[in-house]
Amino acid sequence: MIENYIITILVSLGIGSILLLVGLVKLVKTNTHATMFWNEIVLEKITNFVMDQSKEQRILNSVSYNAVKGNPQSVLDCIDKYCSKCEWAMNVGDEKGLILDKIVEETDPSVVLELGTYCGYSAIRIARLLKPKARLLTIEFNSEFVPIAKEIIEIAGLNDKVTILEGHSEDIIPQLKKKYEVEKLDFVFLDHWKERYAPDTVLLEECGLLRKGSVILADNIIYPGAPEFIKYIRSNKRFECTNYPSHLEYMQVEDSMEKAVYLGPDDE
């Protein structure tokens, strides 16, 4: 009698575990938040522990082993392949990357600011399209990402066009004019902490770094979203806005990019 009772409990637990596992798999496949939690928290932490290195180091390894040195497109293709097939990562990605390419080519900037370097993917996309003597300054606060980005950018052969500034955007932006000899910015790419999009845009204005015609392009407008930034620029007559629907990098999840052209201060 007791044996039958124990068997019944074990069977019930087994069935319950299977149902729970099936439910979790279904949730991860259908819910964006669950998918991101699984990729960024669970799976990444386990892989980091097993391999004793970070995801970003693994991306660098893939580029070092597989990309053609001095070929920016080869580096981009290598990162896209790794992040779409092996481990998801927060690059702008190949689909939204085409939007970025188009706007950079249309703007034809001489001085570019990127907020959020990460592994250097978008810096490479931008820098490979810049004309001679144009430059890109990219700000990254995470000290672990900076050396990885530097090495990947060097493999792409673009270290002469890209300068990585380590620190927080709110600290570095006010230093751009005097310390880094930036008069005005032609193009700004926002791809850092989403809650910093709005205050950093305001800071760029306050520091006099935007000229009439300066273009700001912001990533991840829908996921994870930047509602304060959207509210600020779309309700502000100093900006002319265009939205570019797309998908979250390496996923079929709705996302978009927002372009804001600075029309000049109110008194112009």
Kindly indicate the confidence band of residue 252, based on its pLDDT and cuts at 50, 70 and 90: confident
Q: Percent of the chain scored above 90 by pLDDT?
A: 78
Pairwise pLDDT comparison (166 vs 15), residue with the higher score: 166
Query: Mind spelling out the 3-state secondary structure of the chain?
Result: CHHHHHHHHHHHHHHHHHHHHHHHHHHHHHCHHHHHHHHHHHHHHHHHHHHCCCHHHHHHHHHHHHCCCCCHHHHHHHHHHHHHHCCCCCCCHHHHHHHHHHHHHHHCCCEEEEECCCCCHHHHHHHCCCCCCCEEEEEECCCCHHHHHHHHHHHCCCCCCEEEEECCHHHHHHHHHHHHCCCCEEEEEECCCHHHHHHHHHHHHHCCCEEEEEEEEECCHHHHHCHHHHHHHHCCCCEEEEEEEEECCCCCCEEEEEEEEECCCCCC
Which residues, at least 6 apart from 221, have a Cβ–Cβ distance to it below 8 Å? 229, 230, 243, 255, 256, 257, 258
pLDDT of residue 28: 46
pLDDT of residue 24: 45
Tell me the pTM: 0.85
Pairwise pLDDT comparison (45 vs 175), residue with the higher score: 175
Kindly indicate the confidence band of residue 204, based on its pLDDT and cuts at 50, 70 and 90: very high
Residues labelled catalytic: 191, 194, 219-220, 249
pLDDT of residue 21: 46
pLDDT tens for each residue of 46-87? 776 676 789 999 999 999 999 999 999 999 999 999 999 999
Kindly report which listed range (23-37, 61-75, 227-241) carries the lowest average pLDDT score: 23-37
